[in-house]
Amino acid sequence: MLKFFRTIRRRLLESGSLRKYLVYAIGEILLVVIGILIALQVNTWNQHRINRINEKYYLNQMMSDLAADSLSLYGLKKRMEKADTLINALVKELNTDDNQQEFNLALRNYINHVGRLFFMSSTIQPIMK
């Protein structure tokens, strides 16, 4: 292809028609510029398409993460409510004057329940500072 253009250019220069050569040269430059502009536009369209695909993926991922977090927080809320109930029952038991053996048994029982709630089934680890 380059040899073809080179021979055309050489013939135009040898024939002495500068005007024809300049028209040819400007035409060739315009073709190159138009080709570059088309390539840039195609690249822009493709990049925009890829960005839209990535945007949809990230939005879907955020939605699924929010749903999972919502379920996790709901479970944590239920465990906290159960722990609150057990702690209130423990406080109520501490305020009674029954015999010591029953108190020790109840205290052990409540502490075991609270411990199971927080350490065995917890998915969120507490942050210690």
Percentage above 70 pLDDT, the chain: 75
Number of helices followed by number of strands (H, E) in the chain:
3, 0
User: Which domain range does residue 16 map to?
Assistant: 2-120
* Domain count within the chain: 1
Which pLDDT score is estimated for 45? Answer: 97
Which pLDDT score is estimated for 19? Answer: 73
Which pLDDT score is estimated for 35? Answer: 94
**Per-residue pLDDT at 116 exceeds 90:** no
Domain membership flag for residue 125: no
Domain membership flag for residue 72: yes
Please compute the mean of the pLDDT values over residues 5-15 and round it to a whole number.
72
**Per-residue pLDDT at 37 exceeds 70:** yes
Domain membership flag for residue 129: no
Rounded CA-CA distance 78/91 in Å is 20
Domain membership flag for residue 38: yes
Which pLDDT score is estimated for 99? Answer: 61
**What pLDDT, in 10s, does the model give residues 51-79?**
999 999 999 999 999 999 999 999 888 88
Which pLDDT score is estimated for 92? Answer: 75
